[in-house]
Homo-oligomer: A and B are copies of this chain.
């Protein structure tokens, strides 16, 4: 019997990068990214003996993020993640797998007298996600997504017919407020012959985001699970190149306040928005003939 090193990785987390693309002196574009890198590979020597010959300092990863950003100004986050992952797995022999995670923070142009301002923005809610993994043998995958997109519908949501026992005090309902903060991921390239290098990442992102919101709004909900599946399926239905959608949907409860003690009824009007506890529904929707996800894919 012995004690051994198990799975491990390391990297630089949350490099805060803002790229300004100057189309001309006054018209600019903006990318606001938080980039994280994690590497695994032949790292036993540093763990067991403090021999760092195989360790690329996380400070160099930070430098790499900034330098690479300079080289390809207008790039989409998925491309940037892939380009970093490819460099990391080809330039450094001890690196067997590179994972890159990017959160892109959205900014909208400020409304000026003459229309959208050419170089002034206000930050919008939510964030876009792009992740890439690459192995030293050249296998790679890309995942896109969004986080912190909070949605609510004030009708069109039911919940009844559930399992009951002695711990049940919840009343069945055929009309409740349903709210959640969507965290979604969709994996690209369902089939091996597909190359996503020429993909319209931003177009795909915008379409998936719109589909998720519209499906949340339009689906009559019988459970948050059913809404989750409908949201994921709608994205796959519309984008055949996508292999899989994963969703995390916290059920942000809104409880109808009992106003009877104060002499009022409350016909679906005044709610208390609770912080904790909250329901948490997680699930995947996938094509049954899609390539499997690589285990190291940074969802």
| Contact pick for A218, options B30, B73, B112, CB 8 Å | B112
Q: How far is the CB of A127 from chain B (nearest CB, A)?
A: 11
* A189 at the B interface (CB under 8 A): no
Instruction: List the B side residues contacting A197 at CB < 8 Å.
Output: none
A119-B154, A217-B110 known; A18-B283 Cβ under 8 A? no
Chain A 224-237: CB-based contact to B (< 8 A → 1; otherwise 0):
11101100010011
At the interface, yes or no: A6 with Cβ under 8 Å from chain B? yes
Q: Does A49 contact B (CB under 8 A)?
A: yes
Per-position 1/0 for A30-73, Cβ under 8 A of B: 10100010100001001111111111111110111011011101
Query: Whole-angstrom distance between the alpha carbons of A162 and B46 in the complex?
Result: 10
How many residues belonging to A are interface residues under a CB distance threshold of 8 Å? 144
A273, B3: Cβ atoms closer than 8 Å: no
A273's contact among B16, B46, B53, by CB below 8 Å, is which? B16
- How many copies are assembled? 4
Residues from chain B with Cβ under 8 Å of A237 in the complex:
3
In angstroms, how far is the closest chain B Cβ from the Cβ of A51?
A: 7
Q: Mark A246-279, 1 if CB is under 8 A from B, else 0.
A: 1000110010010101111011111111111111
B3 and A236: CB pair below 8 A? yes
A residues 160-182 touching B (CB-CB < 8 Å): 160-170, 177
- For residue A25, CB closer than 8 A to chain B, the reply is yes
| Contact, CB under 8 Å: A285 / B6 | yes
Binary interface encoding of chain A residues 169-204 relative to chain B, with 1 for a CB under 8 A from any of its CBs, else 0: 110000001000000000000000000000000000
Q: Is the CB of B18 within 8 A of A273?
A: yes
Contact (Cβ within 8 A) B66 A289: no
- Nearest CB in chain B to that of A29: its residue: B154
Query: Please, how many angstroms separate the alpha-carbon atoms of A213 and B124 in the complex?
Result: 14
Q: Which residues of B contact A286 (CB under 8 A)?
A: 3-4, 6
A274: chain B residues at CB < 8 Å are 16
Q: Are B119 and A67 in touch, CB under 8 angstroms?
A: no
Smallest CB–CB gap between A240 and chain B, Å? 9
* Closest partner residue, chain B, to A236 (CB atom): B3
Q: A22-B268, A273-B32 are in contact. Are A117 and B217 (CB under 8 A)?
A: yes
Measured between beta carbons, the chain B residues less than 8 angstroms from A43 are 225
Q: Which 10 A-B residue pairings sit nearest by Cβ, starting from the closest?
A: A50-B222, A6-B284, A8-B283, A120-B217, A123-B150, A58-B279, A47-B229, A16-B273, A50-B226, A59-B170
21 examples of A-B residue contacts, CB within 8 angstroms: A2-B288, A12-B278, A12-B279, A13-B279, A15-B276, A17-B272, A20-B269, A30-B152, A38-B282, A46-B223, A47-B283, A48-B229, A50-B226, A57-B159, A57-B162, A59-B169, A60-B165, A117-B217, A119-B154, A120-B213, A125-B125
